[in-house]
Chains A and B, each alone.
Chain A
Amino acid sequence: DAGITQSPRHKVTETGTPVTLRCHQTENHRYMYWYRQDPGHGLRLIHYSYGVKDTDKGEVSDGYSVSRSKTEDFLLTLESATSSQTSVYFCAIGSGDNQPQHFGDGTRLSIL
């Protein structure tokens, strides 16, 4: 929806392995965001980007890194996955100026 594609949609991996999730947009929006959604915690911001190579931390950034080498792609990396990072991850995009964010369909990540 809204020109956002998240990949993969599902992933199962083992503790200690690196994981990279990709968000691709076709809207040419300036802002991109990574959230995680867990029962009892709602949506929590991990990192966001306000332009190519411009990123900043969100509320729950420990254990995660991001990169944005071009406008359309925002990557979320778990350098060494832990079981506490099992979650559903959502990417969102926004044009700024108080305009709403629009969300992708999520990636369900299970770390065993």
Chain B
Amino acid sequence: GQQLNQSPQSMFIQEGEDVSMNCTSSSIFNTWLWYKQDPGEGPVLLIALYKAGELTSNGRLTAQFGITRKDSFLNISASIPSDVGIYFCAGQPDGANNAGNMLTFGGGTRLMVKP
């Protein structure tokens, strides 16, 4: 089963608000990835992080690879309606123990628009 704890599970946003979500693990990862999934589509890569402490931006999105290598967060600034969707974190363990380059996924954060 999943080994990554992703929170929050869901949240409502109002246009213009900043959003923050995070993932934690009991294991160390060499790579952290953040994906977004829109309805009826597959997950799309947003940001990839390869080094502990790394802070990377992609437009209004910023993600960080935690110093302990056991966590990562994703921030979205000034949210817009098209930010709605499900965001997944994924971690990739040390290559020596992961010959198949497999990923471990978080359970997802569902972003919805406040009515």
Contact = CB atoms under 8 A, between A and B. Distances in A.
Contacts, number: 58
Contacts of B2: 42
Which of the four size classes fits the interface of chain A?
20 to 34
Given A97-B101, A100-B33, A101-B90, 5 more contacts: A59-B1, A98-B92, A104-B42, A105-B40, A105-B42
Contacts of B40: 105-106
13 contacts: A33-B102, A42-B105, A45-B102, A45-B103, A48-B102, A56-B100, A90-B42, A90-B43, A98-B31, A101-B33, A101-B103, A105-B41, A106-B42
Contacts of B67: none
Contacts of A31: 100-101
B-side interface mostly: loop
Interface in B13-27: none
Given A42-B88, A43-B88, A43-B105, A100 B43 contact: no
B109 to A, nearest CB: 11
Interface residues of B, number: 27
B42 A50 contact: no
Contacts of B102: 33, 45, 48, 58
Contacts of B48: 100
B50 A98 contact: yes
A5 to B, nearest CB: 11
Contact of A106 (B33, B41, B45, B95): B41
A93 to B, nearest CB: 11
Contact of A98 (B35, B88, B95, B100): B95
